[in-house]
Structure 1
């Protein structure tokens, strides 16, 4: 039965993906969401058919991946999500066919901001900022307490970091990293020559790696570039080769980094490393297993615990003493086998799909799908910049967690939504 469900999950997912690529001729928020979902949840199923489950020293993951009912529910989740995607893609395709008289994307520019904001006033400033930021970053590295630290990308993870470096990173380097990611997005949006643009972006990716040493932010930046290319209506055939090479090189780097830094000693299976950092299937399976067997492992103390943090994180802990922590903290503690929150030295980014399951039980499987569709529909009706940022937010949350950079992104989206003025009587004008 499990084999049949896996095959159904793969076949239905491929069908929906092909249907999406063939039938949708304009950008919709749901398109990259489906692509990221297939990468994070469906690709692991395909690999499982040939390689089996990854070997890991974490008992929690091992038990969850080998549990029959958990595997069944996970595949039901994938099939349910793809059915919902298929239904909505058909609706979007029908809607697009009724709106053929709208903007001709080959002749008209894309309106990035709300009409009451003039982009031309800010474009040159943003581009200038993007070109100057690398120089500022290099100067910041040279003026740091220990410049050699930033070039030690493959330093041992078991070596402690100097407190002065930690403070310097918090105050300066982390902000520069966020600035570099923004600069990449600005340059990607304004690039005229794709080859030269890719060379510049590769240089910025190296700088991000030097500044932060976090491999995940490299994937985030590449993902943002992909979303921008999709929004700019570049043909999939034109960009698929470049992004396939990027993803392959990053995957190789992830594995090499684990060996070079000694992190492989924690889990000596390259297949598991790929699953932990790229895919989210085993994270979802663990959340489902805990929902089915609450006496075996523990994630949250009560339903809705991490959702409260997501909604009200801005309230100071000095005012709200019992304010919950981010979901990643509870999830990591659960994987490590603790019965309550433990301040572990490592983080295992899940996604919002398992977070829904942990907060609302098994019904959270379908609530997460419903949330995805509703938020995709909301951003689809926004102006282009808000749609870009909103789409990026959801795609990142599919493979990452709600950290500071995403909180900043949410604030930017809220501000843009407040600026927006929805056009009135559109349907009436079309009828006339």
Structure 2
């Protein structure tokens, strides 16, 4: 029964993806369309893999084995991800104010903005000068095995500047008239940021932003759009495989079955969502958060030092990972990857099934309403990140989105008022 249901839901999600891609190819500018694509990859394709290949045993993840064998949990998951696209379609789109979006800054302010963006492009290199261990960055991905606390603390600044550098490159490319020339100029700096950052998520982010820029400037149309997207996806899968084999110490010792299991955990959010659903169904057997809203409280107090508040909550991934391995609720130094959709369920209970996708819808609508090139690019990035990692992993980007959205929303209102005054 579950296999038939999985195939049916996968077929429905494939239909939704087809409608979404058709809209993108036609030139519709709704940011929520990109959420459909990411959602299909991380939440939909795992259903097909379970049917064709089989559900992994998850021998090293005791809770995963239990929840993936619970039919009622799988049933609720299937129904849930079937409804999410409908929520986005109804509430995630807004009337496009202008198909040709603008930067909404003129004159000296535009020049100042360009200067700031260019400084941010160089920022990882500038920050690297102050690193206590700059030579360690001669090796790619060195931070994965680094245990030095000082090096790890400083790498958080490297992470932040690398993200801002890649975002700034995308912003400057959107502003450039000569697309090919601007691409050649900024590619080396993007590669430097990718190297210094040392993890796979920045590669995915760079490709997503490049795809968005080329689509927004109408360089990618029709078949070219589909071909580029397919090639980009294959490249990411190939890159990830090479990354795992080269930088993970025990990867060569794993069997193909174990590698597939790791692949499912890395690129599927279905098991994490099922784990959260299972916890709602069996609260006495599994409890991720100690109380409702615990990880939300962490986000609201993220800048409060733990030395001041010893009982400050941890990020959601800490609680989730501990629950998977039946461990006390404390940091392990690493964590399993989660998304906002299951975190919303853990924080708000059954109401979280609606709050999760509705928040993403609201972010997409608010970003689109600014009718601003940079804000819309940030909006696409933010809603996609909400679907693949927890908020603490991109908190600085989210804050940047909030500030820019509020700023350009007010600019848009002021522009509308001035036009009405002129008309009268």
TM over 0.5, yes or no? yes
* Per-residue deviation, 1:136: 4.1
- The equivalent of 2:342 in structure 1 is 354
Counterpart selection for 1:369 from 354, 357, 367:
357
* Per-residue deviation, 1:181: 2.3
* Per-residue deviation, 1:88: 5.0
Counterpart selection for 1:223 from 190, 208, 221:
208
Q: Residue 280 and residue 117 in structure 1: after superposition, are their counterparts in 2 closer, same or farther (change >3 A)?
A: farther
Q: Any stretches of 5+ residues in structure 2 without a counterpart? A: none
**Which has the larger displacement, 214-223 or 120-129?**
120-129
CA distance in structure 2 between the aligned counterparts of 1:266 and 1:335, rounded to whole angstroms? 24
Q: Residue 244 and residue 19 in structure 1: after superposition, are their counterparts in 2 closer, same or farther (change >3 A)?
A: closer
CA distance in structure 2 between the aligned counterparts of 1:227 and 1:30, rounded to whole angstroms? 13
- The equivalent of 1:10 in structure 2 is 10
- What does residue range 175-214 of structure 1 map to in structure 2 within 5 Å? 175-190=160-175, 203-214=188-199
Counterpart selection for 1:121 from 111, 119, 123:
111
- The equivalent of 1:112 in structure 2 is 103
- What does residue range 30-429 of structure 1 map to in structure 2 within 5 Å? 30-56=32-58, 57-88=60-91, 103=98, 105=100, 110-113=101-104, 120-122=110-112, 124-126=114-116, 128-129=118-119, 132-133=122-123, 136=126, 140=128, 144-153=131-140, 161-170=147-156, 172-190=157-175, 203-233=188-218, 234-235=220-221, 237-260=223-246, 261-264=248-251, 269-317=258-306, 320-338=309-327, 340-384=328-372, 385-403=374-392, 405-418=394-407, 420-421=409-410, 422=413
- The equivalent of 1:99 in structure 2 is none
* Aligned 8 A contact 2:370 2:405 in 1: no
How many residues are matched?
411
CA distance in structure 2 between the aligned counterparts of 1:198 and 1:275, rounded to whole angstroms? 34
What's the TM-score once normalised by structure 1's chain length?
A: 0.81
* Per-residue deviation, 1:417: 0.4
Q: Any stretches of 5+ residues in structure 1 without a counterpart? A: 97-101
CA distance in structure 1 between the aligned counterparts of 2:417 and 2:120, rounded to whole angstroms? 40
CA distance in structure 2 between the aligned counterparts of 1:200 and 1:50, rounded to whole angstroms? 45
CA distance in structure 2 between the aligned counterparts of 1:66 and 1:208, rounded to whole angstroms? 42
**Which has the larger displacement, 381-390 or 407-416?**
407-416
CA distance in structure 1 between the aligned counterparts of 2:379 and 2:5, rounded to whole angstroms? 32
RMSD (CA atoms): 3.5
**Which has the larger displacement, 229-238 or 192-201?**
192-201
* Aligned 8 A contact 1:351 1:397 in 2: yes
Q: Residue 135 and residue 88 in structure 1: after superposition, are their counterparts in 2 closer, same or farther (change >3 A)?
A: closer
